[in-house]
Amino acid sequence: MSLCIAVSCQLNMADKYFDLREAEELLQTIAPWLEEARNVKQKIEAFKNELTQVASRIMVLGGTFPPLADLLRKKSEHDKAVEHLVEIVNRIQETGVLVKDLDVGLVDFPSLLEGEEIYLCWKLGEDHIAFWHSIDEGFTGRKPLDEPGTGRTPPQGPRLQ
């Protein structure tokens, strides 16, 4: 199941824009949620791998009887984990932050730079938000916030909009 199907993925203009200070302050709130989401996703992947192995064994052994009670319990745990993951991602996205990649803990904060929509980019493990990119570039197009000579630094404090 694609995460975008399970939660509402934002593809157009943002409902909320963050300046750097607002985004930095929100990190304290969303970082633990993002870490939890990443752990739950890993748990879901482990369930899927286990179920795939059981299915392969059944096929190889010619239709042996699987441990049905154990499989049903694991399926129930998997389903609960998926629901929990969707809840966590929704909680993060309700703040206005866009979840981009749970495996690395990557999120984007919509912002404006000279009237153009951009994303302030952060991932788990980074001390603070130090990068930004246009909405078309993605992670590979990340630029340092203080990129010399560009004069293109997202807003640092409160804005009038």
| Positive or negative torsion for Cα 2, 91, 33, 100 | positive
pLDDT tens column, 74-98: 889 999 999 999 999 999 999 999 9
Residue 22, Cβ neighbours under 10 Å: how many?
18
3-state secondary structure of 73: helix
Instruction: Count other C-beta atoms under 10 Å from residue 33's C-beta.
Output: 18
Q: pLDDT band for position 133 (50/70/90)?
A: very high
Rounded to whole angstroms, the Cα distance separating 140 from 155 reads 22
- On the question of pLDDT at 160 being above 80, the answer is no
In the predicted model, what is the mean pLDDT of residues 32-55? 91
Of 9-13, 33-37, 56-60, 156-160, minimum mean pLDDT range: 156-160
CA proximity to 85, closest of 38, 131, 118: 38
For the chain, the structural domain boundaries read 18-150
Indicate the pTM of the whole model: 0.76
The first and second tokens of residue 148, run together, are: 């010399």
Q: How far apart are CA 80 and CA 159, in angstroms?
A: 41
Task: Please provide the size of the chain in residues.
Answer: 161
